[in-house]
Amino acid sequence: MARIEGVDLPKNKRIIIGLTYIYGIGISRSIDILRMTNINENIKVKDLNDTQIISIRNILSNNYDLEGNLRRSETMSIKRLMEIGCYRGRRHRVNLPLRGQRTRTNARTGRGTKKTIAGKKKAPRK
């Protein structure tokens, strides 16, 4: 089993998909990494040589921020926005969407579940 950046890659998946299990690597970055190392994207993770694994590790450690470092930098950026009190920071603080989405009918995750008023009586007809 290949262990890269503290993540165990799944044995039976292709390497192009296996690399996406690392936080900070998507399909396009995975393709770029495999092109730099001259590794076939259709090879399975269990079929990799030690030299191929080492070359992938070297490229990842030298060129990219991944896993813990990336998570830390993202949280620091969000904290900075909240501290300076900008619009995006205030939206982060109250857990609302911050990129212009509507909140009247959607954004249930941020606003919480719908609350109904129990026992409210309708006005009688005249």
What is the full per-residue pLDDT of the chain (126 aa) written as tens digits?
788 888 889 999 999 999 999 999 999 999 999 999 999 989 999 999 999 999 999 999 898 888 889 999 999 999 999 999 999 999 999 989 988 888 888 888 877 777 776 666 777 777
For the chain, give every domain's residue range. 3-67
Residue type, 42: N
Enter the tokens of residue 59.
């490229």
Q: Is 101 helix (H, G, I), strand (E, B) or coil?
A: coil
Distances in whole angstroms, Cα of residue 49 to Cα of each of 27, 41, 54: 21, 14, 9
Q: Is 20 helix (H, G, I), strand (E, B) or coil?
A: helix
Residue with tokens 């039976």: 12
CATH 1.10.8.50 fits 3-67, yes or no: yes
**Contacts for 35 with CB less than 8 Å, ≥ 6 apart:** none
